[in-house]
Amino acid sequence: MKPTHIEHIGIAVASLEEAIPFYEKVLGLECYSIEEVADQKVKTAFFKIGQTKIELLEPTSPESTIAKFIEKNGGGMHHIAFAVEDVATALNEAAEAGCQLIDKAPRNGAEGLKIGFLHPKSTNRVLTEICGEK
Ligand code: ZN
């Protein structure tokens, strides 16, 4: 698969409004985008650090997997996303290598990117996202 870098780290929060000040006031980062991703029933806030981003995820519905994660764990580190050129190819390669997939085909993520998740059972219990332009 050969990812080029860590695209972002996803962090589940109950409220963007309450979480953003830590990143802005303590870390001195700038929230450059807030976007709702209907597919995932979340509202996201992004911060950039070099080539990598922090993605805060606030659930917009109790049905959201993020809402369930917060209910179970109280929030916190949710997933790590690796950047690849072609998400469909990367997912196929992962499946061929014996990795269990959550998404067999790419779907739409934030920032107009294609995304797909690998199953934590196959990734040492770390929810892993593959993400790229196509
Ligand atoms: Zn993500």
* Cα 75 to ligand 1 centroid, rounded to whole Å: 15
* Mean of per-residue pLDDT scores for the chain: 96
* Cα 80 to ligand 1 centroid, rounded to whole Å: 7
* Cα 26 to ligand 1 centroid, rounded to whole Å: 23
Rounded mean pLDDT, 67-72: 96
Separation of alpha carbons 43 and 56, rounded Å: 8
Domain count, the chain: 1
Rounded mean pLDDT, 95-123: 94
Rounded mean pLDDT, 77-102: 97
pLDDT at 64: 95
* Cα 94 to ligand 1 centroid, rounded to whole Å: 18
pLDDT at 109: 86
Match 């269990």 to its residue by tokens: 100
pLDDT at 39: 81
Of 71, 73, 36, 38, residue with least CA distance to 56 = 36
Q: Domain range holding 56? A: 5-132
Residue 17 has pLDDT above 90, yes or no: yes
* Cα 97 to ligand 1 centroid, rounded to whole Å: 22
CATH number at 20 reads 3.10.180.10
* Cα 10 to ligand 1 centroid, rounded to whole Å: 5
Separation of alpha carbons 133 and 71, rounded Å: 32
Predicted model pTM: 0.92
